[in-house]
């Protein structure tokens, strides 16, 4: 209820031109954009701590090997969580704040906050969006309908998403995101950025993302990122992605 009121206030203020009272009218637009992401309250609940994996390190083999999962979860992602807490303590952010809220105003904080709040959030979502190949389920009718509506077919969606993941230069992520009007879009971000950030070119709520940093695949695939991406589809947890889409 509080969020709805705030949203109405911001929309109203902008619409009737109270923006002219603000020093920078463009800022009102930014607030409005951020507020659109904030409105997806059901998925704004990521804590600063790591969630335990719901499967064993070797459960995603042969798509993703056990050693990669162990190092990726405990070392890489563990460090993002720790550094996020350090940055939050240094910059006066309450450690109980949902990470989503930090991301939506991330331009106010340091590069350390941006990299580690993003890194922690992205990995928390990544682990949940993976599952053993025999437990992935299938996309719900609602999700499949939205995919067909935005990309014509599942095959075409996978092709476009894979292309975004393959062509991301250097380190980063490919995403399926829900934008305004609940339309699905594919996006790609560098480093640990994501579409919740106020600095993102394409804003929306991520349904799932694919980590294409070399640390995510190099031990098994070396330079063969395309093969990693092809095998990722076998362990994408459609049950989780469908539930997430249904909840927003």
Residues that bind Mn ion (CB under 5 A): 211, 213, 216
Least separation in angstroms between CB 36 and Mn ion: 27
Report the nearest approach of Mn ion to the CB of residue 192 (Å). 8
Task: Choose between 84 and 216: whose C-beta lies nearer to Mn ion.
Answer: 216
Q: What would the DSSP string read from start to end of 149-180?
A: HHHSSHHHHHHHHHHHHHH--SSEEEEEEE-G
Q: Which is nearer to Mn ion, 100 or 211 (CB)?
A: 211
> Which CB sits closer to Mn ion, 104 or 211?
211
Least Å from the CB of residue 13 to Mn ion: 40
| 3-state SS, residue 139 | coil
Taking the complex as a whole, the smallest distance from the CB of residue 126 to Mn ion amounts, in Å, to 7
Using Cβ positions, the residue closest to Mn ion within the complex turns out to be: 211
Assign 185 to helix, strand or coil: strand
Indicate the residue among 71 and 144 with the shorter CB distance to Mn ion: 71
Q: Collapse the DSSP code of 189 into the 3-class scheme (helix H, G, I; strand E, B; otherwise coil) and give the result.
A: strand
Burial of 142 (0-12, 13-18, 19+ CB in 10 A): exposed
Q: By C-beta, is 33 or 70 nearer to Mn ion? A: 70
Alpha-carbon distance of 64 to 84, in angstroms, equals 26
Q: State in angstroms the smallest separation of the CB of 72 from Mn ion.
A: 6
Can you tell me the distance from the alpha carbon of 188 to that of 173, in angstroms, rounded to the nearest whole number?
6
């Amino acid at each position: 209820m509080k969020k709805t009121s705030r949203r109405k206030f911001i929309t109203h203020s902008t619409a009737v031109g109270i923006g002219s009272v603000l020093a920078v009218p463009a800022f009102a637009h930014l607030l409005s954009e951020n507020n659109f992401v904030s409105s997806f309250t059901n998925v704004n609940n990521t804590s600063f701590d790591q969630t335990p994996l719901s499967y064993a390190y070797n459960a995603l083999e042969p798509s993703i090997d056990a050693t990669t999962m162990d190092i990726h979860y405990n070392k890489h992602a563990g460090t993002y969580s720790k550094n996020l807490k350090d940055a939050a303590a240094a910059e006066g952010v309450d450690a109980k704040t949902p990470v989503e809220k930090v991301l939506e105003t991330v331009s106010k904080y340091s590069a350390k906050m941006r990299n580690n709040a993003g890194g922690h959030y992205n990995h928390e979502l990544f682990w949940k969006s993976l599952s053993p190949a025999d437990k992935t389920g299938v996309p719900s009718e609602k999700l499949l309908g939205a995919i067909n509506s935005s990309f014509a077919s599942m095959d075409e969606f996978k092709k476009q998403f894979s292309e975004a993941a393959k062509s991301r230069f250097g380190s980063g992520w490919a995403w399926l995101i829900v934008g305004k009007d609940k339309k699905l879009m594919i996006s790609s971000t560098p480093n640990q950025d994501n579409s919740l950030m106020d600095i993102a070119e394409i804003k929306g709520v991520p349904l799932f993302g694919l980590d294409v940093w070399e640390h995510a695949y190099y031990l098994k695939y070396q330079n063969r990122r395309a093969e990693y991406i092809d095998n990722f589809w076998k362990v994408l947890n459609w049950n989780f992605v469908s539930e997430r889409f249904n909840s927003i």
